[in-house]
């Protein structure tokens, strides 16, 4: 008889508005999907298209507190629309993409900016800058059945009540259907996959005690405190 040599880890889940749990599979992220953020990172959005990176599933937290991570002097917020895949597929056409979406959440792609800057400079991977524990703060998942598919609407992030980021979902370089089409040309998407869709300009540092409030008009909100 075969057996687990130690108990398997608990599933990572997101709470769904109205009840139920969404089992999380993988976390993909889009880099530089708003032109104003590409420019603030020193890039040229007309020459550098968005790109993908990933975080481990264990990085997800929906807790009201997020621990300040070790090994960084510069933890940054990035407020983002998170897209939750309900139906998998490969080679998904943009026109079919919305049918693959279960719902949406507000999220924060927490980033060790100092480690990222170092990695960018010498062309090394971003994993330790982007994929650390509790680096994917995500709120309650709103089913698309209830909130629809927002192609536009304000996305804001405030720290301690001061607005730091404000843009509109319509300002994404790759729209959500285009993200799904492009990503599914690289990997076969599966139910449970999450996609961070990129952050607008206004990124900045967080400190212990800061209260972060991300709002996406008509879709979702998520609030947490750095401890
Ligand atoms: Mn991001």
Domain extents in the chain: 13-226
**Distance from the alpha carbon of residue 95 to the mean position of ligand 1, in angstroms:** 25
Q: Tens digits of per-residue pLDDT, 65-116?
A: 999 999 999 999 999 999 999 999 999 999 999 999 999 999 999 999 999 9
**Distance from the alpha carbon of residue 199 to the mean position of ligand 1, in angstroms:** 5
Q: Angle 118-123-124 (CA atoms, 0-180°, nearest 5)?
A: 70
**Distance from the alpha carbon of residue 97 to the mean position of ligand 1, in angstroms:** 21
Q: Tens digits of per-residue pLDDT, 190-224?
A: 999 999 999 999 999 999 999 999 999 999 999 99
How high is the pLDDT of residue 181? 98
**Distance from the alpha carbon of residue 8 to the mean position of ligand 1, in angstroms:** 30
Q: What would the mean pLDDT of 150-154 be, rounded to a whole number?
A: 95
Question: Parallel, antiparallel, or unpaired: how do β-strands 60-61 and 136-138 relate?
Answer: parallel
Average pLDDT of the chain? Answer: 97
How high is the pLDDT of residue 46? 87
**Distance from the alpha carbon of residue 7 to the mean position of ligand 1, in angstroms:** 33
For the record, the structure tokens of 103 come out as 């719902």
Residues 16 and 138: their CA atoms lie apart, in Å, by: 11
**Distance from the alpha carbon of residue 10 to the mean position of ligand 1, in angstroms:** 26
How many residues are listed for the chain in this entry? Answer: 227
Task: Report the SS3 class of residue 4.
Answer: coil
How high is the pLDDT of residue 186? 98
Asked if 134 contacts 186 with a C-beta cutoff of 8 angstroms, the reply is no
Residue 1 in this model has a pLDDT that exceeds 80: no
Task: Report the SS3 class of residue 133.
Answer: coil
Beta strands in 86-135 (DSSP E): 101-109, 111-112
pLDDT band at 33 (very low <50, low <70, confident <90, very high): very high
Residues 97 and 180: their CA atoms lie apart, in Å, by: 6
What CATH number matches the domain at 13-226, 2.60.120.10, 3.40.50.2030, 3.30.470.10, 3.90.850.10? 3.90.850.10
How high is the pLDDT of residue 48? 85
- The Cα diameter of the chain in Å comes to 59
**Distance from the alpha carbon of residue 33 to the mean position of ligand 1, in angstroms:** 9
How high is the pLDDT of residue 227? 98
**Distance from the alpha carbon of residue 110 to the mean position of ligand 1, in angstroms:** 8
Residues 182 and 11: their CA atoms lie apart, in Å, by: 27
pLDDT band at 64 (very low <50, low <70, confident <90, very high): very high
Q: What would the mean pLDDT of 23-49 be, rounded to a whole number?
A: 93
Half-sphere exposure of 157 (CA within 13 A, CB side): 26
Residues 12 and 138: their CA atoms lie apart, in Å, by: 12
Q: What would the mean pLDDT of 119-146 be, rounded to a whole number?
A: 97
How high is the pLDDT of residue 128? 98
pLDDT band at 24 (very low <50, low <70, confident <90, very high): very high
**Residue 220 pairs with which residues in a beta bridge?**
216
């Amino acid at each position: 008889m075969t057996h687990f040599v130690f108990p398997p880890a608990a599933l990572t889940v997101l709470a769904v508005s109205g009840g139920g749990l969404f089992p999380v599979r993988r976390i993909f992220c889009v880099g530089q999907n708003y032109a104003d953020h590409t420019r603030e990172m020193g890039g040229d959005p007309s020459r550098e298209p968005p790109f993908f990176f990933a975080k481990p599933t264990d990085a997800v937290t929906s807790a009201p507190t997020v621990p300040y991570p070790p090994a960084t002097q510069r933890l940054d917020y990035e407020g983002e629309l998170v897209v939750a895949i309900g139906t998998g597929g490969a080679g998904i056409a943009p026109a079919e993409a919305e049918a693959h979406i279960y719902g949406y959440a507000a999220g924060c792609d927490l980033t060790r900016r100092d480690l990222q800057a170092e990695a960018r400079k010498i062309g090394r991977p971003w994993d330790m800058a982007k994929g650390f524990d509790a680096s994917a703060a995500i709120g309650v998942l709103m089913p698309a059945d209830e909130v629809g598919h927002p192609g536009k609407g304000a996305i804001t992030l405030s720290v301690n009540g001061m607005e730091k980021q404000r843009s509109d979902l319509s300002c994404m370089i790759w729209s959500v259907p285009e993200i799904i089409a492009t990503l599914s040309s690289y990997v076969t998407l599966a139910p449970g996959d999450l996609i961070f869709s990129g952050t607008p300009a206004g990124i900045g540092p967080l400190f212990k005690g800061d209260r972060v409030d991300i709002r996406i008009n008509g879709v979702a909100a998520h609030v947490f405190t750095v401890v």
